[in-house]
């Protein structure tokens, strides 16, 4: 339809809105229940009043802001070309360039402001959702355990990504103390993820992450086959998630957990690769946590020297003396230093460890610190103190039915007695080990090695060197229960096999 030479921005805005909806003038009139002649008049001969344009725009499902943008764009597009002004004014060509620059700047500023506000809105929504998830978690924990799953499946407020995330993180925390609780929380996290509404890709990310944490709980419970199945399914789903969802849920956590599983599967190169990627993805505040995990892999591989280097770096990244991770960093560092025979360096860490190992739930940690102290006493030649320390931790491990730890502490004590020629004490230690063979938690290869020690002790043919070799074997066997006990490489013990 022909247009008059006179600029009518609101008429142009009306035409653009109509065309945006794919309507002809007659169809627009029918939709608005107005005469077609009125539509033609406002488009071809007369600008519609702004109030009319806004009312029609709203009936076409545009927002007030949409209508304003249409009018603004048409107004700018209809501006008359600049004319020569005074000697002080820019030339018309310069005015055109100024208008173009102003338009680009304003469009860029609009996009920047929009992105800033979107980021602020996302951050606010994340904080709100996680705050609400914290409340839902506390409510769920007050519910009897047998009813928790039913509550989660019944009430929609528990069926959110944030509740799933909170349950998964609580499962990770529980894993260091209660494998059964970690498993229950992880299973709740998976169910919350399965019931979370939203687009399929985002839900895949939430469910994938929850399954990875379930795999971690199964790993801690020594259910490695189930852990592998959950991990494989979780990683497949995780790869389908948008990058934004992966960033929110913490992509570094996924690689960190996968690294832990590969470590316990004794797939050490894969574990190190996962943790390298986790470090690259982790925010600065979380790098130390990844480094601790990497050091544990190196320790399991028997590489205490590199483990010490990694733990030193992790320690340097801890900004607060009260950082909860400091206890684990210093404890692992002291242990690896004792493996290397650097007892003075290890002992220097013990005062800080003792100060951190406070509270009712830290009893086992305090016992392990006392064990480290006994090793340092032995390494420093303080035999009486070392003997008393080993005896103390042996008592704890016996009371709490921890056979492998009991055996290692007993052998470390035996080394001191053998060096002092106290063979009767060694026989007593060997006899007191009888209960560990009745416990199903001792691997067959470790049991075989310890039985040889008992036989050799009874015949007074065991030496301090043999006891030390056995301690080293048991330390490796605690991370690899299938590690063969090679009796043929054990000198005198081989004759008794």
Mean pLDDT, residues 319-324? 84
| Burial status of residue 14 (CB atoms within 10 A of its CB: 0-12, 13-18, 19 or more) | buried
CA dihedral 55, 58, 62, 67 (to 10 degrees): 20
Does 7 score more than 70 pLDDT?
A: no
- In terms of pLDDT, which residue wins out, 233 or 98? 233
Mean pLDDT over each residue of the chain, to the nearest integer:
89
Which tokens hold the place of 412?
A: 């470390």
Mean pLDDT, residues 257-282? 96
SS3 380: coil
Contacts 24+ apart (CB under 8 A), 236-241: 236/208, 237/204, 237/205, 237/207, 237/208, 237/211, 238/204, 238/205, 238/208, 238/209, 238/212, 239/208, 240/200, 240/201, 240/204, 240/205, 240/208, 241/201, 241/202, 241/204, 241/205, 241/206, 241/208
Label residue 488 by pLDDT band (50, 70, 90).
low
Closest residue by Cα to residue 478 from 453, 443, 428, 435: 443
Label residue 139 by pLDDT band (50, 70, 90).
very high
Does 87 score more than 80 pLDDT?
A: no
Task: Provide the pLDDT for residue 4.
Answer: 46
Task: Provide the pLDDT for residue 30.
Answer: 94
Does 6 score more than 90 pLDDT?
A: no
Mean pLDDT, residues 25-31? 93
- Give yes or no for a contact between 477 and 440, defined as CB atoms under 8 angstroms apart: no
Does 438 score more than 80 pLDDT?
A: no
Q: Is 250 left (phi over 0), alpha (psi -120 to 50) or beta?
A: left
Per-residue DSSP letter, 441: T
For 127-137, the pLDDT digits (tens) are 999 999 999 99
**Radius of gyration for the alpha carbons in the chain, expressed in angstroms and rounded:** 36
HEC letters along 131-185? HHHHHHHHHHHHCCHHHHHHHHHHCHHHCCHHHHHHHHHHHHHHCCCCHHHHHHH
- Among 231-235, 242-246, 268-272, 472-476, where is mean pLDDT lowest? 472-476
Mean pLDDT, residues 425-447? 84
Task: Provide the pLDDT for residue 315.
Answer: 94
Give the Cα separation of 414 and 430 in Å (integer): 9
For 96-125, the pLDDT digits (tens) are 788 778 878 887 888 888 899 999 999 999
Mean pLDDT, residues 11-16? 91
- Cβ-based neighbour number of residue 30 at 10 Å: 13
Task: Provide the pLDDT for residue 1.
Answer: 42
Label residue 345 by pLDDT band (50, 70, 90).
very high
Give the Cα separation of 328 and 176 in Å (integer): 11
- Give yes or no for a contact between 168 and 210, defined as CB atoms under 8 angstroms apart: yes
Does 215 score more than 90 pLDDT?
A: yes
Residue 343: partners with Cβ closer than 8 Å, 6 or more residues away: 337, 375, 376, 378, 379, 380
- Give yes or no for a contact between 221 and 185, defined as CB atoms under 8 angstroms apart: no
- In terms of pLDDT, which residue wins out, 82 or 336? 336
Domain-by-domain residue ranges, the chain?
1-79
Sequential DSSP letters for 30-45? HHHTS-HHHHHHHHHT
Share of the chain above pLDDT 70, in %: 95
Mean pLDDT, residues 23-38? 93
Burial annotation 169-184 (CB, 10 A radius, 16+ → b, else e):
bbbbebbeeebebbbb
| Sequence-ordered alpha helix ranges (H) in 383-485 | 383-399, 403-419, 423-432, 444-458, 464-477
- In terms of pLDDT, which residue wins out, 250 or 489? 250
Give the Cα separation of 136 and 157 in Å (integer): 8
Please tell me the pTM assigned to this model.
0.78
Mean pLDDT, residues 378-387? 95
Task: Provide the pLDDT for residue 169.
Answer: 96
- Give yes or no for a contact between 11 and 1, defined as CB atoms under 8 angstroms apart: no
CATH code that applies to domain 1-79: 1.10.260.40
- Among 93-102, 121-130, 297-306, 444-453, where is mean pLDDT lowest? 93-102
Which tokens hold the place of 79?
A: 């501006």
- Among 32-41, 80-89, 161-170, where is mean pLDDT lowest? 80-89
Give the Cα separation of 40 and 435 in Å (integer): 99
Per-residue DSSP letter, 488: G
């Amino acid at each position: 339809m022909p247009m008059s030479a006179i600029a009518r921005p609101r008429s142009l805005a009306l035409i653009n809105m109509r065309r945006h909806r794919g309507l002809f003038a007659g169809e627009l009139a029918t939709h608005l229940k107005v005469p077609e002649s009125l539509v033609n008049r406002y488009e071809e001969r007369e600008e519609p009043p702004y109030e009319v344009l806004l009312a029609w725009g709203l009936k076409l499902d545009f927002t007030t802001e949409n209508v304003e943008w249409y009018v603004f764009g048409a107004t700018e597009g209809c501006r008359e070309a600049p004319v020569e002004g005074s000697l002080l004014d820019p030339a018309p060509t310069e005015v055109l360039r100024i208008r173009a620059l102003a338009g680009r700047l304003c469009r860029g500023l609009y996009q920047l402001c929009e992105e800033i506000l979107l980021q602020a809105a996302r951050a606010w929504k994340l904080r709100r959702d996680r705050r609400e998830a914290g409340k839902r978690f506390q409510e769920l924990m007050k519910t009897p355990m047998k009813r928790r799953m039913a509550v989660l499946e019944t009430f929609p407020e528990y069926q959110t990504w944030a509740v799933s995330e909170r349950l998964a993180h609580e499962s990770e925390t529980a894993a260091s103390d209660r494998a059964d609780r970690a498993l229950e929380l992880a299973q709740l996290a998976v169910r919350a993820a399965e019931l979370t509404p939203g687009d399929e890709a985002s839900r895949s990310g939430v469910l994938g992450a929850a399954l990875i944490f379930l795999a971690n709980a199964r790993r801690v419970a020594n259910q490695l086959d189930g852990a592998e199945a959950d991990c494989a399914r979780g990683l497949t789903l995780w790869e389908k998630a948008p990058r934004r969802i992966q960033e929110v849920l913490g992509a570094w956590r996924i690689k960190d957990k996968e690294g832990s599983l590969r470590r316990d599967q004794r797939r050490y190169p894969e574990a190190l690769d996962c943790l390298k990627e986790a470090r690259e993805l982790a925010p600065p505040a979380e790098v130390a946590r990844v480094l601790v995990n990497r050091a544990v892999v190196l320790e399991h591989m028997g590489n205490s020297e590199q483990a010490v280097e990694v733990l030193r770096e992790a320690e340097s990244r801890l900004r607060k003396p009260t950082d909860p991770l400091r206890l684990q960093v210093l404890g692992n560092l002291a242990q690896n230093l004792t493996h290397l025979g650097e007892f003075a360096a290890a002992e220097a860490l013990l005062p800080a460890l003792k100060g951190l190992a406070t509270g009712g739930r830290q009893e086992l940690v305090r016992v392990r610190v006392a064990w480290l102290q006994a090793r340092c006493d032995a390494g420093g030649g303080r035999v009486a103190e070392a003997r008393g320390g080993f005896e103390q931790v042996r008592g704890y491990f016996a009371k709490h039915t921890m056979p492998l730890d009991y055996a290692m502490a007993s052998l470390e004590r035996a080394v001191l007695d053998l060096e002092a020629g106290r063979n009767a004490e060694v026989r007593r230690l060997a006899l007191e080990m009888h209960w560990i063979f009745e416990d199903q938690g001792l691997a067959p290869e470790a049991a075989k090695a310890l039985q040889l020690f008992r036989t050799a002790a009874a015949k007074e043919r065991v030496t301090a060197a043999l006891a030390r070799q056995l301690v080293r074997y048991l330390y490796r066997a605690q991370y690899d229960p299938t590690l063969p006990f090679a009796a043929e490489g054990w000198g005198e013990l081989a004759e008794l096999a």
